[in-house]
Amino acid sequence: MTTAKEVTSQIWEMANRLRGNMDASEYRNYILGFMFYRYLSERQEKYLFDNKVFDENPDNISGINEEYVKEASGEYLADYLDDIAGSLGYAIEPQYMWRTIVDEVNNNKITPDTFQNMFESFDNNLRLNSKATQDFTGVFDDMNLNNSRLGNTTAARAKALTQIIDLVDQVDYQDDNGKDILAEIYEFLIAKFAENSGKKAGEFYTPHRVSEVLAKLATVSFDQSISKPSVYDFACGSGSLLLTVQKEIKNKILYYGQELNTTTYNLARMNLLMNDVSYDRMTLKNADTLEQDWPDGVDAQGIDHPRNFDVVVANPPYSQRWDNDDRKLKDPRFKDYGLAPKTKADYAFLLHGLYHLDQNGTMAIVLPHGVLFRGAKEGKIREALLKKNQIDAIIGMPAGLFYSTGIPTVILVLKKNKANKDVLFIDASKGFEKGKNQNILRDEDIDKIINTYKERKDVERYAHVASFDEIKENDFNLNIPRYVDTFVPEPPVDLKKVAADLHETNIEIQKNQKELVGMLKELTSDDDDIMDGLNAIIKELEEETRD
């Protein structure tokens, strides 16, 4: 049976043959960009077919593109585009539909200007639905059509782009049962590009198994009756972590995310839309989370109106530099806790997420181990969080789970409305499978973490529920070994057995030496010096044997 993973491998092999000297992280923008364009075009075809918008509607969706070209022309084109954009948030003109472009490629009718005109047309039509403008504007900007690594001439670049279109068009986005697996393929490709991007991978991708742990921890106590649940990731990368939460919540989610890197922000928009998240259920922003509070925040009159969320999840960049100017002490996100140090923004990210957490919500965030024990400003923030009873659990994760770093990380679970004052510590650092390039969490590792979090009780050498007083006695140091003793004592030594083993060993040695002496005595030589040396060795061995 054809699987998303198999299709991804096929695409990857073909892409590697085509990309030449272009870096994989750069070629990614073209592969994923054209996949997204194909998705939008085919989604528009489905909309036109399902809603029977034409005077003569074809019996099969395969004929919809031809009918669209025929009927949406001249003075009627604007009406069709208005209707499509009003429902989908975007509208593609007939001559730029995917099937039309592929036909031109196959018939060698494509021109170097085609691609530029195609994307300009897409952007121009976004004005038809102002509610969706933010979700689509500039989404293809990372596909640099004049990139010299595509080719040294306009014609060469056009040829390279047509090869990518041919690659993307060859792929069947359905499995053998007819199930649409495009979203899965897209996710696998993002992971594949992350795997081959080294340290850059951390900028846009959280490994899926880690995302699963975060999503499950953040939704253990989630109220499934909430009709419009909201989820926020303030360092959302490609959006994969946001999408993982979807599997844990029954009702359709309202997604909010912020991402500083523009290329990664574009990936996130594509990823959510291709996972069947409609534009009116996603609000993503390309901005610096720490510099300006969002969503909402302080208005022109200085009054704070933060938007709060049922679930907050995040894997922000670790120990990043930030501007901790004293003016930020007035920022409502930080004023009750203090500012994180300039060289380590970890707690600044945490406080931003906590600030936007609903009173009954849960937040799960991945951070480096240092946040548990570093002193000075971070120690004061940690103490304030504990005194406010906002840290619910701390889970030490295995090293080597991430593409971008081999350092061990920790997951902090936070709440604003805790019923108890204790903190659950879990040492999950030894629960993993060794992979080729990174360590991997197995199903049993994830289940053990989640079940331990739910049961909230001591597990020998794995988990401990620490009281507030116990933590206070440790000067609010949360380093996991202070609370979870993972030391496995050596079994007691049986001295009688050791003595008996030594006696048997000595007997065996003496036996072997006697046999060796017998063999040495059989050796002869005409050289007196050699015989003198040999006899000396025999004498020494015989004396050792007598002893």
DSSP state of 334: T
Q: Which two tokens stand for residue 84?
A: 């499509």
**Sequence-separated (6 or more) residues with CB below 8 Å from residue 532:** none
Q: Which two tokens stand for residue 477?
A: 């140091």
What per-residue confidence (pLDDT) applies to 204? 62
What per-residue confidence (pLDDT) applies to 403? 74
Q: Which two tokens stand for residue 532?
A: 């003198």
The strand pairing partners of 396, in sequence order, are 410, 427
Q: Using an 8 Å Cβ cutoff, are 516 and 538 in contact?
A: no
Least confident of 153-167, 316-330, 374-388, 481-495: 481-495
CA angle 387, 392, 396 (to 5 degrees): 115
Average pLDDT, the chain: 90
What per-residue confidence (pLDDT) applies to 488? 58
Q: Return the axis-axis angle of helices 112-124 and 98-106, rounded to nearest 10°.
A: 170
**Sequence-separated (6 or more) residues with CB below 8 Å from residue 46:** 61
| CATH class as words, domain 4-196 | mainly alpha
What per-residue confidence (pLDDT) applies to 2? 67
Interval 404-456: pLDDT, tens: 677 889 999 999 999 899 999 999 999 989 887 789 999 999 999 999 999 99
Number of other CB atoms surrounding residue 154 within 10 Å: 14
What per-residue confidence (pLDDT) applies to 354? 98
Q: Which two tokens stand for residue 220?
A: 């253990």
User: Taking 90 as the threshold, does the pLDDT of residue 22 lie above it?
Assistant: no
Rg (CA), the chain: 32
What per-residue confidence (pLDDT) applies to 38? 95
pTM: 0.85
**Alpha-carbon span 245 to 544, nearest angstrom:** 74
The strand pairing partners of 363, in sequence order, are 312, 414
Per-residue confidence at 232, pLDDT binned at 50, 70, 90? very high
Decide: residue 491, CB within 10 A, 0-12 exposed, 13-18 middle, 19+ buried.
exposed
User: Taking 90 as the threshold, does the pLDDT of residue 254 lie above it?
Assistant: yes
CA nearest neighbour of 347 among 330, 293, 324 = 324
CATH 1.20.1260.30 intervals, the chain: 4-196
What number is the average pLDDT over the span 517-523? 76
What number is the average pLDDT over the span 481-489? 80
Least confident of 127-141, 168-182, 338-352: 168-182
Least confident of 105-119, 199-213, 214-228, 497-511: 199-213
**Sequence-separated (6 or more) residues with CB below 8 Å from residue 271:** 186, 187, 190, 238, 239, 240, 243
DSSP state of 108: T
What percentage of the chain exceeds 70 in pLDDT? 96
Element housing 245 (H / E): helix 240-246
Q: Using an 8 Å Cβ cutoff, are 282 and 268 in contact?
A: no
CATH 3.40.50.150 intervals, the chain: 199-482
Per-residue confidence at 45, pLDDT binned at 50, 70, 90? very high
CATH superfamily of 199-482: Vaccinia Virus protein VP39 (3.40.50.150)
What per-residue confidence (pLDDT) applies to 483? 96
Per-residue confidence at 188, pLDDT binned at 50, 70, 90? confident
User: Taking 80 as the threshold, does the pLDDT of residue 306 lie above it?
Assistant: yes
What per-residue confidence (pLDDT) applies to 409? 94
Interval 83-126: pLDDT, tens: 999 999 999 999 999 999 999 999 988 887 899 999 999 999 99
Which residue is it, tokens 């240092």? 370
Interval 193-207: pLDDT, tens: 877 766 555 556 788
Q: Which two tokens stand for residue 33?
A: 């960009």
